[in-house]
Amino acid sequence: MTDFSNIGVTGRRGHDGVVETLHRLLAFLQSQRRSVILDEDTAAMLGSPGIRCTPVAELAQHCELVIVVGGDGSLLHVAKHVGDTPVIGVNRGRLGFLTDVLPDELEQRIGEVLAGKYLSEERFLLEVEALRGGGRKTVGRALNDAVLHPGRFSQMISFELFINGQFVHSQESDGLIVATPTGSTAYALSAGGPIMHPQLDALVLAPMHPHSLSSRPLVVDGNSELRIVVAARQELEPQLSCDGQVCHTARAGDEIVVRKHSSCLKLIHPVDYTSYQACRSKLGWGSRLAKSDD
């Protein structure tokens, strides 16, 4: 069991109640005699409360646990910086697939974690590279998805898809979503993709408004290498986003390579967490049927 003596705390503006919850969390952690480190933006948001702070990219270097207060986007923002340091989220967003501690249960749930009562799991990330004119560079990482899209233009883009070097198809569409199981309940779901259990070793490729009735989401092995080739005569400059943040603007003939990253995100959950319960809660799935009286 990990001794969570040093705890990193981060929160993001834009969600109601974030500041209030951060103050509650800091007070609770200090009552438990834990050393707290804030990222610089959180410290500024709280008015520099006299607690040690560091850039968010360095936060995980100083602690054994990171607590994120906000929505799923807040956790996605932190995910690429934490390395092997476990993360748990307090939900101040809308859905909260990743930030699953309710604010009203903060002291109870975080107290259980500090006492060693929690579930831990790993979620893999994506690494995205761009190839142009013989050059190759890493442009981003993603926990949810990498998305090729037209950017500010509402026009279809053309591209070819290769999986492990094998040609799959050419396509005209509004773009392509490459999602992890974690991201299958995010943007890919709105594009008609399947919901995948988070422990599956798989990727889903969901086309966005394809110009073909036979084009459907495709699920492939998680260790596949995907290569997307932008059409040579593409007049637009499609953009590539990782977890909603634009990381690269493509040109005609560019190649985008997407594969599993070498590291994983370590998520911590309350002891009664299940991914199915999360779907019931966040997606409005039906609960168990009432039993009829004998």
Report pLDDT digits (tens) over 168-210.
999 999 999 999 999 999 999 999 999 999 999 999 999 999 9
Q: What is the pLDDT of residue 85?
A: 95
Statement: residue 69 has pLDDT above 80: yes
- CATH class for the region spanning 125-263: mainly beta
Q: Quote the pLDDT of residue 52.
A: 93
Please report the pLDDT score of residue 244 as a whole number.
93
What is the rounded average pLDDT of the residues 215-224? Answer: 96
67 neighbors 86 (Cβ within 8 angstroms): no
Annotation says 72 is catalytic: yes
Distances (CA, A) of 271 to 6, 112, 213, 292: 22, 8, 44, 31
Task: Enumerate residues 6+ apart whose C-beta is below 8 A from 33.
Answer: none
In the DSSP assignment, the letter for residue 195 is P
Q: Which of 3, 41, 72, 100 is an active site residue?
A: 72
d(CA 229, CA 231): 6
pLDDT tens track for 137-158: 999 999 999 999 998 777 889 9
Query: What percent of the chain shows pLDDT beyond 70?
Result: 98
Per-residue burial over 180-195, b = 16 or more CB atoms within 10 Å of its CB, e = otherwise: bbbbbbbbbbebebee
pLDDT in tens, 71-114: 899 999 999 899 899 999 999 887 788 998 999 999 999 999 99
- 167: DSSP letter: E
The dihedral of CA 64, 70, 76, 78: what is its sign?
negative
Same fold, 6-118+270-283 and 125-263: no
Q: What is the DSSP letter of 60?
A: G
Residue range 6-118+270-283, CATH number:
3.40.50.10330
The predicted model scores a pTM of 0.91
Closest Cα to residue 218, out of 229, 230, 205, 207? 205
Q: How far apart are CA 93 and CA 183, in angstroms?
A: 16
Domain locations along the chain:
6-118+270-283, 125-263
What pLDDT sits at residue 25? Answer: 96
183 DSSP assignment: G
Residue 277 phi/psi, 5° resolution? -65, -40
- Rounded Cα distance, 236 and 113, in Å: 49
Question: Which pLDDT tens digit goes with each residue over 233-273?
Answer: 767 889 999 999 999 999 999 999 999 999 899 999 999 99
